[in-house]
């Protein structure tokens, strides 16, 4: 039996890699895309035939429209879409410039729109599909030193709810996972650069530890599964109790 196709963006990062591994274990064949070509090659070596890699810049709208068409032509219908792409630094808003704001919004929000629309059009035509967007608890409660990132992730959450309402009639489920601090390469780099900020963050987590990427992958797996077929427009925090709303 042919495996269903899942498109994962930001696939070469820590959370993205864990999600790709989990989806392959769940029976999907993963179309993995990222700007990091070396990271994609490592992912391909890890997952073998379970993954097909597509280097791409997700902030390029035309490139993403073309890529979605290419994936469906080569692999088949995209049944599941997971947007993992994200980026930020820990800085205070008054020290930032508009070039930084534009980059944060482009990577964390506009890139999502550029990919969702061509995937969604195809899902609507087939009357089925599921999407999960990796948001952030920052988008739910705000985070000092991540103001613009929090704003962009808040936009992701509101966008997911809106298109979930629009497309439930097409049997398309759209949800978010909001990770708390997760031990990824970006987290490790931030810990070295700003250890005090990370230490304060961990003290606020009831479990007193960061999540592992596999914790986030488990939540994504559930939201793409038949067990979540009646769940849409929701944002599931996987944060060790950091937020409880």
149 is catalytic: yes
Catalytic member of 109, 149, 187, 230: 149
Sheet holding 172-179, edge to edge: 51-55, 29-34, 5-9, 78-83, 129-134, 172-179, 235-238
215-218 long-range Cβ contacts below 8 angstroms, 24+ apart? 215/182, 216/15, 216/18, 216/19, 216/134, 216/177, 216/179, 216/182, 217/15, 217/18, 217/19, 217/21, 217/22, 217/23, 218/22
- Write out the two tokens for 186: 């970006």
d(CA 54, CA 203) in angstroms, rounded, equals 39
d(CA 138, CA 151) in angstroms, rounded, equals 8
d(CA 115, CA 206) in angstroms, rounded, equals 35
Residues noted as catalytic? 149
């Amino acid at each position: 039996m042919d495996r269903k196709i899942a498109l994962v963006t930001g696939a070469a990062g820590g959370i993205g890699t864990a999600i790709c591994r989990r989806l392959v274990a769940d029976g999907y064949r993963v179309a993995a895309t990222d700007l990091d070509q070396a990271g994609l090659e490592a992912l391909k070596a890890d997952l073998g035939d379970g993954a097909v890699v597509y280097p791409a810049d997700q902030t390029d709208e035309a490139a993403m429209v073309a890529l979605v068409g290419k994936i469906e032509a080569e692999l088949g219908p995209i049944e599941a879409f997971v947007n993992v792409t994200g980026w930020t630094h820990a800085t205070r808003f008054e020290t930032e410039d508009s070039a930084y704001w534009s980059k944060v919004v482009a990577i964390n929000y506009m890139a999502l729109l550029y990919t969702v629309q061509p995937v969604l059009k195809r899902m609507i035509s087939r009357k089925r599909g599921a999407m999960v967007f990796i948001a952030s608890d920052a988008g739910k409660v705000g985070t000092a030193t991540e103001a613009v990132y929090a704003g962009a992730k808040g936009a992701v959450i509101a966008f997911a709810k809106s298109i979930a309402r629009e497309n439930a009639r097409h049997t398309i489920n759209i949800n978010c996972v909001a990770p708390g601090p997760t031990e990824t390469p970006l987290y490790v780099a931030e810990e070295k650069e700003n250890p005090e900020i990370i230490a304060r963050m961990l003290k606020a987590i009831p479990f007193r530890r960061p999540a592992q990427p596999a914790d986030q992958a488990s939540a994504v797996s559930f939201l793409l599964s038949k067990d979540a077929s009646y769940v849409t427009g929701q944002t599931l925090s996987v944060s060790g109790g950091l937020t409880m709303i």
